[in-house]
Each structure stands twice: as structure tokens, then as C-alpha cells.
Structure 1
């Protein structure tokens, strides 16, 4: 993992309920430099890493970190609650040295069993990590509060 602390800022909005779509504004990192006891900001953009893939722009998503990896789940791409709601999950691997961050989409298992389906798309929910587990709480779906 990294030897110095790092702060990551992912997504957000400049205009009410409109996701940031500018790649240079979508993901920022602040790396701690112990030699000067300062934090230095850098834009790491949205399309980073060798894969060159990125999650779609979003607002009202939830994120949590486990072992140098930041997971984001859900959110939405539009202004209205039922407009482009998301239930996808992405992981930003930031466990390496600064500048080596990389996105990948988490693949869901597909079976005929509905109990293995992902949860309803939602926004304005919370996600926390406990050990190696992620927990998602509440939020707003197309039909209202969950």
C-alpha cells in the first residue's frame, strides 16, 4: 500500500443536481508529503490507469474504502430521482504509489436466482466499510425513499 496518507475526492456537482462531467474535475487526490508536512493536490482525472475506463459521471453516490481501494456505488446521472438512477459499483485502486491509480467496474454474478440481483438503483444513500465488508443504507429510489 501507500506509505503516505492520501485524500481522494470523486464526483460531485457544480450546478445543482448535474454531475461533473469534465474529466479534469471528476477525481482529485491530495497526497501528504512528510518532508514538508504539507498536502499537495493533483487532478487525476476520470480516465486513469492502463485500462482507460471510468465510471459514468454521477452525483449522490456513496463511497467507502477498504485496503487502499475506494468503492463507489449507485448515485444518479440526472436531475430527477427517476432519471438515470444507477446501481453499478466501481473500484478505484489507489493502493500503489501516487499516479498509479486505476478504475475497474465490479462485475455482479448473474444467475436465475433473484436473491443474487443487485439492489435497486438509488441515490443519496450511505455506504460504510467494516473490515472487508461494505454496507449500503437507505437512499432514494425511483419510487421514493428506501
Structure 2
């Protein structure tokens, strides 16, 4: 969604390079000796090509590949790429959008879906949004008063 940062303009509809030929943080490919499936190598240059929301997502996800990452955006938890496929398959959630795999659910459904995923043996990581869209709009407004070219990023922790 646009709120989550949307699809990267440079990879619209196609997977980013770090998903096409994935390696762990140390550069070891899946199936090779010493591969760490908990990590994914995503370079700073690749992160810089992403929207602010997707950059935050991949900064967290790249060190938590063994977890289903529920990323809070507004009143929804959103899941991307393999996690979107997983919740589509396991929880029968519909895909959102068409460019890249993306699924989500309302915040009130988190306990239900978390329980189902954990019961099926999955690890969950939940990222809460620390700033509401209204707070972001106000921060952007104030930043523009101080600097007309400024645009604040969303704070997600």
C-alpha cells in the first residue's frame, strides 16, 4: 500500500535483486554449508532504492527471515513477499495489490492470526507503528514551515 511505502519504483512488479539470488548476511547461498536462514543480505544500496516504509520493513526483516513479520501500518498489519504467500496459504488471507506479494489484516485480528500461526509452528515478529498518519501529517506540516522542501519519514519501531 502507499501507506506502507508502496512498491519500489525501481522494482515495480519484479522481485528486488536480493530476493532473486538470495544469500544470507555473510553472502552464503541457501543449500551451501554455513548458510544462516535467519538472515538475508540486503545492501545499503538496495535499501536506498526502496521507499521509506519498505526500507524500514527490510531493515527489520533481513535479520528475522525465520519469523513471519507483521508490519503495522495504520490500523492494519501488512505482510510482504514470502510472508504474504505464507498467510495466504495458511490463513486463507487474500492478497492486496498486484505488483508484489502483499497481504494483511485488521489490527483487531492479530491475536487470532498470531495464535493460529504459532500453533502451526511459525515464529512471529510484530512491528508496531509508533506514529499515526495524523501525527506524520502534522510533523510534515511543521517541517515544511521550517523548510519548504522537507518531508518527514514515518517512525516505525
* TM-score above 0.5: no
Structure with the larger strand share? 1
TM-score (norm 2): 0.28
TM-score norm. by structure 1 comes to: 0.30
